[in-house]
Structure 1
Amino acid sequence: MQSLVYLLALTSAATAALLPRVAPNLPASAFPTFSHLTQADFEAGKDNVTASPTTFTPFALDASPASAACSANPNVRIEWRSYPTSSRLGFIAAIKCMMAQPPSGNFPPSTSRYEDFARLHQMYMPNIHGNPKFLIWHRYFLWTFEMALRDTCGFWDPLPWWDETLDAGNFHNSDMFTNTAYFGHLPGPDANGNPVCIISGAFAGLTCHIGPGSSNTPHCLSRAVDESLTAQCNSGFVQTCNSRGDYASMESCSEGGPHAYGHDGIGAVMSDVSASPSDPIFWMHHSFIDHNFRIWQNVDPARTTTINGDDHFGVPLTMNTIVNVGGLGPNVPISDIMNTMSGIQIGAHTFCYKYSY
């Protein structure tokens, strides 16, 4: 009998050793979620955003050898379903590489180069949310992260993007979550309505040191999918937003519509307004949002050379407004990044990309 008990104890210990060590799981109430309106509300204009012609600042970009070179050979972001397996694995490996790099020291209490990005996002709230600076700032934030993957971890494949309209209401069945080589599973909440720590996939057992909210309490990477919310990341809702004629109005719909529903639908760490980049799926979600922004711009070339709306401080945005990413990349004027095909040189890299469709 004693031998059997000893054997069971050894088996239990061995099993525990194989499982990832998980930081404390925080309740759903710990994560400050995104605010959103329904598609019907946006169609009715209940976000109360109107065009602002007095702050609408045109800026004409002359044709240049740089833009011509970009058009001839752009970096094409590939939708996940068409993204080769080798590139998928390389992308995941590059993110893990960033997590293994020491922090810059400029964003305490970040514990890695990866968490520098999460901490920056947290520090810049609310300047980068709840106002028209949101879309253009996050475009540059995503691109800066992409360049860090290249410079720090040698990732040179095209960046993937996620067409969430094809998975709306069914995020958890995407192979991004079901394939254990990728982002880890997307569970529903537990019996008490709380999120679940992720113990599968490439980021199993990940400890997040940034967040929740403005605090920095170590906690596990957790999720709690609500497919009634992810269902709002559909093509009809995207079209509602993209049918708006000026930047500030389109931005309001995009941010408070598919963007907010995607974050809150995945739940927990991703629903944390301040520290959502702690979940690596953040970058895939924001590739979707930037894609929708780019599709809106494709309708009218003027949409790549003009902007309107006021920032968090009530200051009108112009094409000369500086976008700051806290030293993770150079500060740039909006005019440099409003057109993803500008071909403008930013630091050691050329700002030049489009989407596969």
Structure 2
Amino acid sequence: MRFSLVFTASAASASLLRRQTFGDAPQMPDSAFPKFETVTLEDAKAGLDRLIQGLVQPLNLTGDAPVESKEPETSNFRVMAATAQSAQSDACRANPNIRFEWREYSDSDRLAFVRAVKCLMNKPPSGNFPPARSRYEDFVRIHQDYMPNVHNNAKFLIWHRYYLWTFEQVLRSECGFDRAMVWWDETKDAGRFGQSDMFTNPAYFGSMPARDANGNPTCINDGEFAGLIANIGPGNSQTSHCLARGVNEADTAQCNTDFINYCNQRTSYADYESCLEYGPHGYGHNGIGGVMADVWASPSDPVFWMHHSFIDHSWRIWQNLDGNRILNIDGVDAAGNALTLDTMVYMGGIRPDVRVRDIIDTLGGVSIGGVPFCYRYTY
């Protein structure tokens, strides 16, 4: 692990951040949040996600046997795989940044991460993403602006991989976050998200209430993000509203090992992407509900980053199952253009524009703005 576990003064100072209040920000009804499209596991097996995505080539599966989802036992995997080698990737594989699962993360690390997120919420916006009212909302606004181009098409996984990495780098450079990054293994909480200590411990993300009698989400009044006002969304609007959740554990139950294992059996990137996007990805968002169920502005809920760490982890595991997948991409973007390793991925200037080949391998080690793109997960 490359990052120190010392709690720096800059990280500690974030604990003194002001707490926001709802004020006149309304509690939106469930109908205000445009939901993520989903398909059940049985429908995915029948190819419904591929129909939605417009995929016409035959579906190829590796077989019926379950696929074990974990990192390779040895860092030599990339050497054994038929991947392009370079001094950058060699150096990265020798000393990658490690993303630790929430249960492996110390309490000090958890608090440092939450406080770094709050730090961004209390920094002024860059001015490049109006009407964002904080540096954090710069990220929400860029997601809202790019949404039609990076959802419901094959660019979804690669763009969100860079989006998550960019968020991590801004936490480090602007809020002094100096810990290893965190990820969330949702398969271990499938069907009971609300019972995770991420939501039951008042030092973290706040509770996961059920929907009210009318089926609407509830404003979050506890945890470190109690009283948070979201100014981007719902949908493609700009209407101030409270951070709200309304958990549906029947939906979160779809973020399970069986669904992940089925997606892992698909052999082409485009087929895998559609399975994951309309399966566990969409169900995780809709299951948490409220702001997280807003396909345009879901990053307003800081749980977004935890959920997408799970999605990125799932993709990395799929890549690791066959070395030929590591530098392989297919499918089309929202405009119908074929994705290649030279397709550009844009981040609105928050970090440099990159090519797919720069970020498709998490152990590629390509320097982006002077920082190597280099990480792996604990398992």
TM-score (norm: length of structure 1): 0.91
SS at match of 2:324: helix
Residue aligning to 2:153:
131
Q: Is the CA contact 2:148–2:334 (under 8 Å) kept in the aligned structure 1?
A: yes
Write the mapping of 1:123-202 to structure 2, written as runs, cut at 5 A.
Answer: 123-202=145-224
Q: Deviations over 1:98-140 (max 9, x none)?
A: 0011101011110000000000000012100000000000000
Write the mapping of 1:1-357 to structure 2, written as runs, cut at 5 A.
Answer: 20-22=21-23, 23-47=25-49, 48=51, 49-51=55-57, 62-357=84-379
| Aligned partner letter, 1:311 | D
SS at match of 1:77: strand
| Aligned partner letter, 1:296 | W
Q: Is the CA contact 2:20–2:229 (under 8 Å) kept in the aligned structure 1?
A: no
| Aligned partner letter, 1:71 | R
Q: Deviations over 1:224-251 (max 9, x none)?
A: 0000000000000011111100000000
Q: Is the CA contact 2:21–2:229 (under 8 Å) kept in the aligned structure 1?
A: no
Structure 1 Cα separation of the partners of residues 20 and 342 of structure 2: 51
SS at match of 2:376: strand
Q: Is the CA contact 1:19–1:199 (under 8 Å) kept in the aligned structure 2?
A: no
Q: Is the CA contact 1:102–1:113 (under 8 Å) kept in the aligned structure 2?
A: yes
| Aligned partner letter, 2:269 | Y
Q: Is the CA contact 2:342–2:355 (under 8 Å) kept in the aligned structure 1?
A: yes
Q: Is the CA contact 1:51–1:246 (under 8 Å) kept in the aligned structure 2?
A: no
Structure 1 Cα separation of the partners of residues 275 and 369 of structure 2: 32
Residue aligning to 2:62:
none
Q: Is the CA contact 1:222–1:268 (under 8 Å) kept in the aligned structure 2?
A: yes
Q: Post-superposition shift, 1:178? A: 0.3
SS at match of 1:125: helix
Q: Is the CA contact 1:50–1:249 (under 8 Å) kept in the aligned structure 2?
A: no
Q: Post-superposition shift, 1:348? A: 2.2
| Aligned partner letter, 2:48 | K
| Aligned partner letter, 2:229 | T
Give the count of matched residue pairs.
334
| Aligned partner letter, 2:102 | W
Structure 1 segments of 4+ aligned residues over 6 angstroms from their partners: none
Q: Post-superposition shift, 1:51? A: 4.5
User: RMSD of aligned C-alpha atoms?
Assistant: 1.5
Structure 2 Cα separation of the partners of residues 329 and 142 of structure 1: 12
Residue aligning to 1:13:
none
Q: Post-superposition shift, 1:19? A: 10
Structure 2 Cα separation of the partners of residues 248 and 21 of structure 1: 42
Structure 1 Cα separation of the partners of residues 46 and 58 of structure 2: 19
Q: Post-superposition shift, 1:52? A: 8.8
Structure 1 Cα separation of the partners of residues 45 and 20 of structure 2: 48
Q: Is the CA contact 2:83–2:324 (under 8 Å) kept in the aligned structure 1?
A: no
Unaligned runs of at least 5 residues, structure 1: 1-17, 54-59
Unaligned runs of at least 5 residues, structure 2: 1-18, 60-81
* Structure label with greater radius of gyration: 1
Q: Post-superposition shift, 1:46? A: 2.1
| Aligned partner letter, 2:195 | N
Q: Post-superposition shift, 1:44? A: 1.5
Structure 1 Cα separation of the partners of residues 368 and 206 of structure 2: 34
Q: Post-superposition shift, 1:65? A: 1.4
Q: Deviations over 1:262-298 (max 9, x none)?
A: 0000001000000000000000000000000000000
SS at match of 1:78: strand
Residue aligning to 2:73:
none
SS at match of 2:367: strand
Q: Is the CA contact 1:52–1:309 (under 8 Å) kept in the aligned structure 2?
A: no
Give the 3 Å change call, closer, same or farther, for CA 343–194 of structure 1 in structure 2: same
